[in-house]
Each structure stands twice: as C-alpha cells, then as structure tokens.
Structure 1
Amino acid sequence: MSEEPETKELIFAATKEYLRFGEFCDACRKYRYIGICHGVAGAGKTRSAREYARWDLLSPLFPEELFTLVGRRYLDDQFPHRPFATPGSPAFADVLACRTVYYTAPVAATPLRIEREVMALSATLSYVVEAAEQASRGKDDFLLAYRLPKRTELVIVDEAQRLKPAALEQLRDLYDRGHFGLVWLLQERWSHLGMHIRVDDFTDAEALAAIVRITGSNFRVIHRLLMQIERILEINHLHTVTKEVVEKARERHVLG
C-alpha cells in the first residue's frame, strides 16, 4: 500500500519589498487613491496581493455561486450560505479586519462582465465580514437586511495589462461610485494600449506621478499622453521618461 506524500503548507515570508507593497496598498485604501504596481512576470506581485487581501483565507468562505445585491436566494428565511458553520472554517476573528477584494482580470471581457464580477466580489466580501461580526457577537443564525453594509475599502486588479481602455474606464467608473481605493498590478509594458514604452523607461516615481496628476487617472487621456511621450522620445532619440518629458508632452498636446 503506497503512502500519500505529506503536503506541507507554504509559509509566506514578509520581505522588505512586500512590506513596501503593503504600505502602498494601505495608503491607497486609506486615502482612496488609484495606484499602479508594476514589474516583470514572477516578481511576486500576485502572491503579495493575495497575501495582503488574505484571499486564500477568504475565498474558501465564499458561496459557490457569487451572489449580487439582486436575486439573492432564501432558504427557510435564512441565507443558504453560512461561512463559519463548517468544520475547518477559519476563526471569524481572522476575517474581521478584511476589507480588500482581489480580482484577476480576464483575458477577454466586456466592461459589463467586469462590473458584475467586481460588484459580486465586493458584495460577497461584505457578506462574509458581516457574518464574522455577527459570529463574534455569538449569533450563528442571522438574517441580513437587504442592503449589506459596504466593507470593501480597496480593490486590487491583477493582470491589468489584459484590459482594453473601455474595461479600464469601467473600473475607473466603479472606483468613482464605490468610494474605495484601486490598485492595478501589471507587467512592464503598456503594449495593450498600443504603446512600446516600458515602465522601466521611467526614471523615477516623479515622472509617473506627473502622469497621474496631469491625467487625473483618466485612461483615455493617459493613452493620448503616452502617445505624445513616445513621439517625443523618438524625435529626440531619448530612452528614458523624465518629468520634463512628461511636461513637454502635455504642452504639445491638448488634453481633456
């Protein structure tokens, strides 16, 4: 009789880079900023984001079919899904502080699909956190009101380079309406926007900050500004994007 190999739980090491990422997410969450985290594949962006959101702890508590605020099912006047009722469920105390949604952008998706999926994840996070709060008060059976209290304070979008401008605008619209912070995780190129500029071509955070300030994180305006930046680099035989290059691109192109 063969023995099953022992499965060892992987331990996450909080590196200096992860701590910096956590501080970055904390700021976006607290001040409701839009932030961009970039790097090559394999740099640890996804693992760091899932750890920050505690997604490996939360996602097993979600119902098999994500529900939205409309069309919720009832069973004997109770919600059919009780996150902490099964053996092996994590302690509800571990869930109380969770406020972050982790979302992986599909390879191809309409803006409507993205809106529904992000809203469903936000509603489910709110449901699970509310269940944890009720359990902490000793209430195992509870019936939530029709309107869930909103718990989502940050949405992290992984593989953002897959999204087309219309999908990015949809997420920006959700950000405007949802009053939560938003973080994009993307690889080093802007090729999905038709750009050949690499994120590594930016000399420092000042140049990126100038783009965010000038465009107000409007992705149509970002697209036009990046096109002008690329033109300036080509004409002047430059290889890096500085704050001065960004400002020059703004002067040469009417934005808005």
Structure 2
Amino acid sequence: ITAIIDLGQKLHVVNKYGHEHSKHYSDMFKYIDLIIVDEIDRLKVQHLEQLRAIYDEHNLAMIFIGMPGIEKKLSRYPQLYSRIGFAHEFDNLSKDETHHILEYKWQDLGFDLKLEDFTDYEAITTIIKITKGNFRLIHRLFAQIDRIMDINGLDKISTEVVETARDSLVIGIR
C-alpha cells in the first residue's frame, strides 16, 4: 500500500509541476515490472492517458480489470486500445469449481463439508441457486454467513443461515 501511495504522490508532483521533477518520476518505475489496475471502468480519460504514457515511457506490463463491457469503453480511446494485447471475460464458475470453492469456504469457517449430510446438501444447493457461480457473490455471501453464525452462536451452515445471509445483501434476486 505504501508503494501505491508513494506512486500516486509522485504522479501528482509530475502532473502539478511538470517534467522538472521527471527524474524522480522515472526512478519510481525502476523496480516495477507489472501494474494491475482494478475497476479500470471507473477511471477518467486523463487517468487512462496517464497509464498509456507510463506504458509507452517505461515499457511496463499492465493488467486492467473491469466490469463487463469495459473493452467497448476502452475501444473509444484508440491510443490506449491499440496497446491492449487481448481481453478476457471470465465466465461464472462451473458446478465443479463452485463445489471446490464451497468446500474451501466451509473449511475456512471451521467446518467439514459432508454432502451426505442433508443440511449441508441443502445449504450448498441454496448457495448455488443464489450465486449462480458468481465468485464475488459467493465471497460476499460467506462473509455474511460467518457474521450471522458468529452473532447467533451457530455451529452448522443451514439453509436458514444462507437465506438470512442472502437477505442482508443487495443482490437483486429472490
């Protein structure tokens, strides 16, 4: 985090005072090989231009992460878009991948997942129905499941716990 804040401060100095401070600007990229930008769809045009300039000047690899449709938005900026090697849209998790994640989440809460246990089976079925393989939603749902179980002193994930967790999220499905 400190490195990111430091990078942001140095970029601010360059933007505000111009290239008389560019030596410091160049030095900060000496040990950086990769820049990962999450929520690229929330950046303004001038920030996208800044990333393009950094890419051009320092030949750094960059990964942009954004919501579906970001490729179309970036295509409106040909100077930046021409430098994008490829775009990949992640699909929802498969049934097997979802089961693997759920098994991990169960263990993370200190429980063993037993599909032969009807309560576990029902809870898993409900989670799969709610999340439809959306990894981020699974993560958010389990944060609520953990909170609800902790508050109520529960030692088993049940359909009721899952549905209560779902009801505490803003996910637009019922």
In the superposition, the TM-score normalised over structure 2's length comes to 0.38
Instruction: Select the structure of larger CA radius of gyration.
Output: 2
Greater fraction of residues in helix: 2
With a CA cutoff of 8 Å and minimum separation of 6, indicate the structure with the bigger relative contact order: 1
